[in-house]
Amino acid sequence: MTDMSQKNLFIYFEIQSTLNYVRHCLIQIGFHIVSTVYKPFHLRSSWKLRSSDLLDHSTDSLGFHIGCFLLKHDLELQDHAETHDAFHVLTGYNTSSLEEIGMQFWLHGNGKRSFPLYSAMAAGLLLYPDKFRYLMDCQYLGQRSRPIHHLNYLELLQEPMDSLRIQNQIFTHKLLNLNYEN
């Protein structure tokens, strides 16, 4: 490889890295703005639990798995948005910007409708055009699963995780071991 082609390759990767960073920052800022604006309109009551309270549940329960998820990602339950963490745990989507948006597409396919969901979907389509197929597949897998967006997760914290996934026929990329490079 010539010095010129190595230099061009280096510049290309620097540009890609910078664009990915800017894209990530824009999405984080957008999530923060939407959640701040939408928070007063949440109709659900708060669980009034801390992450550590969830770890007191049996190790196979949804509550314990949500607690572990929050601990792993150094997060705390957000008042009135606790079901969001249950969605992460049940569907297997991680907290990266792309997977967060993928989960929103999954939830849309699953029947959920909300302003934050549509905002995340719009951001995903604008900022991740190169991941369009992944996002459409997320939506399709949400359609194939039984609706879970309406469940009362506070009442389900004691339920075994595996049985919740089986009962609701939850299909996702990770749970089906489909490989997508993020």
pLDDT digit string, tens, across residues 114-132: 988 999 999 999 999 999 9
The closest of 168, 152, 150 to 90, measured between CA atoms, is: 168
The alpha carbons of the chain give a radius of gyration, in whole angstroms, of 18
d(CA 44, CA 167): 24
> Can you give the pLDDT at residue 125?
95
The closest of 168, 127, 49 to 160, measured between CA atoms, is: 168
> Can you give the pLDDT at residue 10?
74
> Can you give the pLDDT at residue 57?
96
Secondary structure (H, E, C), 48-98: CCCHHHHCCCCCCEHHHHHHHHHHHCCCCCCCCCHHHHHHHHHHCCCCCHH
Mean pLDDT by 10 residues, the chain (182 residues): 73 81 82 73 79 94 96 89 93 92 96 92 93 94 93 96 90 66 50
> Can you give the pLDDT at residue 115?
87
> Can you give the pLDDT at residue 24?
80
Task: Return the DSSP state at 129.
Answer: G
| Per-residue pLDDT reduced to its tens digit, 56-75 | 999 999 999 999 999 999 99
Helix axes 82-91, 62-72, angle to 10 degrees: 100
